[in-house]
Structure 1
Amino acid sequence: MSRLSFRQLLFAAFILTTGILTATSVQALLTLEHLARLGRETAAQAIALTEQSQRLSERTLAMERSARQFLVLDDRVFRERYAAARDEATAALQVLNRATPEFASQLADEWTAQAQAAWEVLQAGKRRKRDGHAVVYRAFARMTQINDSLARESKTEIGSRNDALLAELERQRRVLGVLVGGAVLLAAVLATCFGFLLSRPLRRIESAIGRLGEKRYDQPIVVGGPADTRRLGQQLDWLRQRLADLDADKERFLRHISHELKTPLAALREGVALLEDEVAGKLSDGQREIAGILQQNTASLQNQIEDLLRYNTAAFDAQHLAHSKVDLLVLLQDVVAGQRLQWLARRLTVEVQGESLIVQADRDKLATVLANLLSNAVRFSPEGGTVRFTLSCAGRRVRIDCIDEGAGVAPEDAARIFEPFYQGVRQAAGARNGNGIGLSIVREYIAAHDGSVTLLPRQAGAHFRIELPL
């Protein structure tokens, strides 16, 4: 099956399912044709039995009339009529005998004997005048009884055949029901099996694409199934390796360029410090102002380079976690206490709500995540505001909500707020603008823990929610 393509497997599934349903339909048509043929045969036999029974009775009556007329009038014409009626009655009797041999044979022999006795009377000459009437009367009386018996037996036979037809119809109905049910069940099983065989490679491809989007290049991509999905899996694995190489090149470039920039930057800062200390001579007010501008910008540039190195380090550290049991409530309280001076300086209130929840995680990286969220909330919150952390449990996942009362995130920034080096349009008034890597580090570390971080809509302030496996 692995040699077939996705399209060929779909076609095979369609052919098999269609073949099963077609075979069932053909069997149903054959069954209906068989039942229709049995119905026609039964109806024709019933009509034949009824007609021959009636014909036997009519010919017997004609024979009796001809015999009596011959005995009275002694006319050969009536004897010939008797003979002709006898032949027709005998033919009808033979039909009844063939249709119902199990019960009509004895009655037919007796009827033939009585008819022969009457015929011998008609051929006896003068003796017929003395005892002919009595013999003919007894013969035809018995023949009439035999005709009635044959008529009843014919009706019984017709009823039996109708019952047999109904029984066959019921049996074929059950057989057809089993066939239809089996065909539907088999088609459902085939559809389920083929659906599983075809959907499993698609799920693996979807999972592989998700890992590529999350920059998880450490796991090789293997996709089974049909030939074309396996080729696609090989192409995705090649793409994974290529992206891993590009990501490694990017990290090396950032690391090298950052270190290369730090050396001349250190010389610049040292030179500006010497100027401000008036080592090269006394500065005028204008020169001192220029030296201050240089000092401020070199410090800002150094902070940006350090942030760049920090993000590069965080992207690498996210792939190497040191798991241990972490009490999230205790960790949150420690992070809040660690930034106590910052939020007290802005006269903020930081609340931690919820119960103690234990997770398996990297404590240091989770502390960095919570510290970045708190730092952002402190920087954007108005003086006298409140920052609230809430711990809760939803099923098998832990939720950490961080809510502040700041300006919030602009709607146009919501989709890109977790991208590295991206800064939204709403910045804190009077505060130094960040480099846009805090939230990207949060996303890196949370994704490494198989969790998620999202920005929830809120009319005032920002609301970030972290979910981790319990």
Structure 2
Amino acid sequence: MKPILYSKKLSLTQQWIGTTLLSMLPLIIAVTYATWEMSSQARAQKRLVMEQARISQLSATIQELSKDIERSARQHQLLQEVSLLKILKIKKNQLSDSLSEVKVLLPSLANNDVLQEINNHSEEIILISQRSNANRGQHLENLYSTLKNDSDTLHGQLRSAVQDNLDRAEDELNNVLWRVLITGLLALPASFLLLGASTIIVTRSISRLSLAIHDLGNGKWDKAIGINGPSDLVELGHRLEWMRTQLLSVEQQKAQFTQHITHELKSPLAAIIDAQGILADQIPGRVNNQQMAVLKILRNQADNLQELIQQLLNFNTISQGIAANDEEIDLHNLCKKLIARYRNLLSDASIQINYSGHDGLVTGNAQLIEMILSNLLSNAIHFCRPSGSVCVSWGVREIDNRGQAILNSNTTGSFWWLQVSDDGPGIDNDERDAIFQPFYQGRNKRHGALKGSGIGLAIVKACAEQANANLSLNSIKNKGSKFTLCFPDNG
């Protein structure tokens, strides 16, 4: 046995796992991207909520501190206590800190005039409250009103800024969702595409392996088997190649044996026929009627045996192939020669053999055509009913390539046809394929004392395939069979 060459490639199972993981890669990337985007968005939303809550809190604090400053200033104006002035300064500092934090949280308001005015007005209220000017009351009232208006204005601006931030966050979330959706939509067909491509790559070796097994089963042993792909399939391919070489060797030995044994049989058979001829010609001495009848039986059986040997030789020859050699063939002369040969073998002289067809020559391989016609004639003669008839006909472009007649005889075509029919028992439907298999013996028994070899129609089918002819069978139970072949017209 040829040593097995183990490949370093992956096995079929490993390749299936690899291709599955590869096809899932786009989906894994899409899921990972979606997870990352949603996680980032969740963190951003959490941070945004905290910032917006703080801004809202600062807005309320600034309004409250503005009111506290006004309240403390009025109390100081009325009571002139130092402690109230200290409280006023504390509230002012708290207001300044809140305004500074707003600038940090909302950089867009860093240069906002309202923030600066609130800070300046609160500072001015403290400065005026420290003076003892008689006109400060009216001035402070104006500052209280302005501070309140500014704090209300700032409250509205902060509320708008919070809403703008929320709108931007919603837009960003929608963009993220769209990106995740598009990524998923792209990942799904990409996964299917990779899965399909990977499956084709992996199954290509399986297809080649299946084709190789099919060829082995059909006797196509000339083409070497080479399988690429997974290591276990490569190993199986090596074993099939070893099997192919063994089958090819056995077939060649069988063909050589068949050829040798048939040639060895022909020599003594020829001697028997010659001896029978000498006795029948009464050269050694006179022969009575009974002895002549025995000699006639001997000659008939010897001729039948010679026909069987010739069929074995033809089957062996066609199995090995016949070189293509198209030439012009005169079917009239060929039919006349074959009918004369089989007329001597007819046990029933009342069987009629008729032939007619196109007057011109046809083009084809003469050896193949002769084997086809010879075996079809032999088959028709041996299965024809007593006192029946066998008909051979041919023509050019008058029936289609399925054996059906074309009503318009002027129809152009590129084939010629040959047809052999008999009026025998016909062929059952379940046997129509089997009768073309070598050595198959059907239910119907042929006439004559010698049993058939079962390879006549197998030779016809093999010859038809080599001649690129279409072989069809039309048979009716108890009415006969009709074999039709359509040949390409290479003339």
TM-score tier after normalising by the smaller chain length: 0.7 to 0.9
Q: Is 1:220–1:237's contact at 8 Å kept on the other side of the alignment?
A: yes
Task: Give yes or no for the alignment of 1:437 onto 2:455.
Answer: yes
Q: For the residues of structure 1 that align with 2:356 and 2:152, how far apart are their CA atoms?
A: 112
| 1:401/1:307 CA distance change after superposition, 3 Å | closer
Aligned twin of 1:61: 67
| 1:85/1:242 CA distance change after superposition, 3 Å | same
Aligned twin of 1:119: 126
Q: Is 2:335–2:355's contact at 8 Å kept on the other side of the alignment?
A: no
Q: Is 1:391–1:401's contact at 8 Å kept on the other side of the alignment?
A: no
Q: Is 2:376–2:456's contact at 8 Å kept on the other side of the alignment?
A: no
Question: Relative to structure 2, which stretch is displaced further, 421-430 or 255-264?
Answer: 421-430
Q: By how many angstroms is 1:35 displaced? A: 1.6
Q: By how many angstroms is 1:137 displaced? A: 2.2
Q: For the residues of structure 2 that align with 1:144 and 1:469, how far apart are their CA atoms?
A: 109
Aligned twin of 1:16: 22
Q: Which amino acid aligns with 1:45?
A: E
Aligned twin of 2:245: 241
* TM-score, normalised with respect to structure 2: 0.72
Q: Which amino acid aligns with 1:141?
A: S
Counterpart mapping for 1:33-48 below 5 A = 33-48=39-54
Q: By how many angstroms is 1:111 displaced? A: 1.1
Task: Give yes or no for the alignment of 1:391 onto 2:407.
Answer: no
Aligned residues: 448
Aligned twin of 1:299: 303
Aligned twin of 1:4: 9
Q: Which structure's residues are more often helix, by fraction? A: 1
Q: By how many angstroms is 1:249 displaced? A: 0.8
Q: By how many angstroms is 1:416 displaced? A: 2.7
Q: By how many angstroms is 1:411 displaced? A: 4.4
Q: For the residues of structure 2 that align with 1:463 and 1:49, how far apart are their CA atoms?
A: 102
Q: By how many angstroms is 1:251 displaced? A: 1.0
Q: Is 2:416–2:488's contact at 8 Å kept on the other side of the alignment?
A: no
| 1:294/1:22 CA distance change after superposition, 3 Å | same
Counterpart mapping for 1:30-429 below 5 A = 30-72=36-78, 82=88, 85-86=91-92, 88-105=94-111, 106-124=113-131, 126-127=132-133, 130-173=134-177, 175-176=179-180, 179-180=183-184, 183-184=187-188, 186-188=190-192, 190-274=194-278, 276=280, 279=284, 282-283=287-288, 285=290, 289-318=293-322, 320-322=323-325, 335=331, 338-339=334-335, 346=352, 363-364=365-366, 367-368=369-370, 371=373, 375=377, 378-379=380-381, 390-392=399-401, 407-427=425-445
Q: By how many angstroms is 1:415 displaced? A: 4.6
Q: Is 1:55–1:92's contact at 8 Å kept on the other side of the alignment?
A: yes
1:280-307 per-residue CA deviation (whole Å, 9 max, x = no partner) reads 554464x555444433333322221121
1:22-48 per-residue CA deviation (whole Å, 9 max, x = no partner) reads 233212211111122222222322222
Secondary structure, aligned partner of 1:417: helix
Aligned twin of 2:31: 25
1:328-348 per-residue CA deviation (whole Å, 9 max, x = no partner) reads xx98xx658854896x96487
Q: Is 1:348–1:385's contact at 8 Å kept on the other side of the alignment?
A: yes
| 1:366/1:257 CA distance change after superposition, 3 Å | closer
Q: Is 1:443–1:452's contact at 8 Å kept on the other side of the alignment?
A: no
1 or 2 for the larger relative contact order (CA 8 Å, sep ≥6)? Answer: 2
Aligned twin of 1:355: none
1:442-462 per-residue CA deviation (whole Å, 9 max, x = no partner) reads 333344467876779988866
Q: Is 1:403–1:461's contact at 8 Å kept on the other side of the alignment?
A: no
Q: By how many angstroms is 1:100 displaced? A: 1.5
Q: Gaps spanning 5+ residues in structure 1: where?
A: 353-357
Q: For the residues of structure 2 that align with 1:198 and 1:407, how far apart are their CA atoms?
A: 53
